[in-house]
Amino acid sequence: MLNGLQNLFAITDATSARCSTWDRTGGNNDWVTIKPGETYTIAEINGPGCIRHIYATTIHINRLEYRWAVLRMYWDGEETPSVEVPFGDFFGIAHGSPRAFDSHLITLTTCDLHEIRGRRFGYNCYFPMPFAKGARIEIHQQADTPWGRGIDALWFH
């Protein structure tokens, strides 16, 4: 039976790696701020590989932010992105109104933050994204305000 697990116990020479926000000073400032008009590179990978999971979270107070931030993905040295989509659309957020849901490839989880302005959402993507020479993933903030507005924070891995 072929179900995707047939190689679960096979030994390979592959390695796992991670690109993430983390405080390089050892503190707890483990997020990034994307300023108005800024393009932030969240991953730059050299050599062959396959991205298997993208996780991000923010604390939003304006539903338009899901459209203002544009996600771009480049494979194998491309000049133009293979993926160019508003952040919220990529993670299945319709009309800037996030709702928790689960699917095999995309999930949106939620957590109420009563002391902090509103809700926090966890965005997960499990599309396998293979590349032969390299990959670059960027977020461009089109708005005239920083990502996350008052909190100005994006966490990802």
Concatenate the DSSP letters of all residues of 52-68 into one string: --EEEEEE-S-TTHHHH
pLDDT tens track for 81-110? 999 999 999 999 888 888 888 899 999 887
Task: Kindly report, residue by residue over 104-151, the tens digit of the pLDDT.
Answer: 999 988 765 544 455 567 889 999 999 999 999 999 999 888 875 556
From 38, 85, 87, 83, select the one nearest 62 (Cα to Cα): 87
Q: What is the pTM of this model?
A: 0.82
